[in-house]
Amino acid sequence: MRYVSHLLVFAYQASIRVRGKIFSLLISGAFARFGRNTVLMSPLRLSGEERIAIGDFVFFGPDSWLQTIPDGDNKSVAISIGSRSSASGACVISAVRSVTLEESVLLARNVYISDHIHRYADTDVPVMAQGVDKIQPVLIKRGAWLGQNVVVCPGVTIGQGAVIGANSVVVKDVPDFSVAVGAPARVVKAIRSPESKIARNCCITQDKPLK
């Protein structure tokens, strides 16, 4: 019985992988760039995918939302996701002009990243009908790790190899190789000096993304 159960689990896992790869292949041509061996799992909410560029060996788990918002005549890439980045699932990335994840960025579940907020000053108009405001670029540098339920606000840069603790709200820059926690997030620990040899090589090249 145990052997049969293992076979069933293996078959189930294989079917999910195959389904994800087929789905990704079918939608890949709609993006500004879609790298090799990249997998976006369904269900996936997409909007403005022609302004989204994704590198190689990227993985996004199910229930995620990738969205670019129209910006007049601007047709340039608004969301850029570096090679070997991985998101567990239920993550939201929303951009008007610029959200950039460099290589090997790791996102836990329910991470929210945006380069804008909703306008809310007009009390006679519902917030959802007021458009967006405070558009500022967001940069998450290579090798950073964002824990579950992290929110990254407009204008923020998260440094190389930085770690953001679960449930944190990042409203200002986080230095390289540091740990930040809280709402608003504050730096509580330096991991190591950015000048160290270990720090410079923190991002190990992998043949496939973490899942």
Catalytic residues: 118
Nearest to 162 by CA among 149, 173, 151, 171: 173
Q: Return left, alpha or beta for 196; rule: phi > 0 is left, psi -120 to 50 is alpha, else beta.
A: beta
User: Is 179 in contact with 189 (CB distance < 8 Å)?
Assistant: yes
Q: In whole angstroms, give the CA distance from residue 169 to residue 72.
A: 29
Q: Where are the alpha helices (DSSP H) in the chain?
A: 2-27, 197-200
Q: Copy the structure tokens of residue 59.
A: 């993985």
Nearest to 211 by CA among 94, 40, 82: 40
Q: In whole angstroms, give the CA distance from residue 114 to residue 205.
A: 27
User: What's the DSSP call for residue 138?
Assistant: E
